[in-house]
Amino acid sequence: MARLGLLGGTFNPPHMAHLVCAQEAYVQLGLDRVLLVPAGVPPHKEVEGDPGVAHRLAMCEAAVAGDDRLGVSRADVERTGPAYTVELLRALRAAAPDDELTFVVGGDMAASLPAWREPEAVLALARLAVAEREGVRRGDIAERLAGLSDEDALERVVFFDMPRLDISSSLLRRRAAAGISLRYLVPDPVADYIRQQGLYTARLSSSASA
């Protein structure tokens, strides 16, 4: 049995805040490993400036290379249809029934859990680990989740501390498009990959939309 943390996202591109979140979940929650889970087809919105799922997957693999605590799951990108969390967790549970799953989210995502597809099923399949940052209060999140029909759902929600790092993927895409360095904002292998592949440039964006 493995205690696996799952950090989902578009990772467009993955950056240092993603890795710090994964590390803190690993350390504070006693996990055996934390996997980045890049979304194949996000259910609620298009991936802005998407270079393609193959590039996003490759960047995730570059981001965690050399750190045995972290890894990448292809479970979502290899599925067809929208990337609903409950379907991802069911697929992972079917593949490894004995693993203990912890789904890692930020406070804003945790507060929106009642609007997810089958939220009670999500909490039955995995713990929900909430990255607690300044401005996100446990009481507010608990109040939002109190409306779930399963009264024991809150027992499956845990919190861990997360340093506040204001790095956004949209900012990084703009910097890359403008030719501004991404050093210290993304791991060096990710910056190298973006530069070598010419990702997020005006030329690539225009050809992708053509």
Encode pLDDT of 159-171 as tens digits.
999 888 889 999 9
pLDDT at position 42 is 67
The model's pTM is: 0.89
Report residue 30: phi and psi, to 5°. 65, 40
Structure tokens at 49: 């400036």
Place of tokens 């290379």: 65
User: Residue for token digits 């240092």?
Assistant: 16
Is pLDDT above 70 for 56? yes
Segment 104-127, tens digit of pLDDT? 998 878 888 888 999 999 999 999
- Four-residue CA torsion sign, 81, 84, 85, 89: negative
The whole-number pLDDT of residue 155 equals: 81
Q: Which residues share a beta bridge with 129?
A: 104, 158
The Cα–Cα gap between 110 and 108 comes to 5
Tell me the pLDDT band of 201, cut-offs 50, 70 and 90.
confident
pLDDT at 210: 33
Per-residue pLDDT averaged across 37-61, rounded?
85
What CATH number is given for 3-166 in this structure?
Answer: 3.40.50.620
pLDDT single digits (tens) 142-165? 777 776 766 667 788 899 998 888
- CA angle 179/184/189 to nearest 5° reads 80
Question: Lowest-pLDDT range, 23-27, 32-36, 188-192, 199-203?
Answer: 199-203
Lowest-pLDDT choice from 63-67, 89-93, 147-151, 206-210: 206-210
Of 35, 29, 41, 28, the closest CA to residue 14 belongs to 35
Whether 81 shows a pLDDT value over 80: the answer reads: no
Res 139: pLDDT: 75
Give the other-Cβ count within 10 Å of 74's Cβ. 15
The arithmetic mean of pLDDT across residues 179-194, rounded, is 97
Calculate the alpha carbon distances from 193 to 9, 17, 57, 62, 199 in Å: 19, 18, 12, 8, 8
Distance between CA atoms of residues 68 and 123, nearest Å: 27
pLDDT bin (cut points 50, 70, 90) of residue 22 is: very high
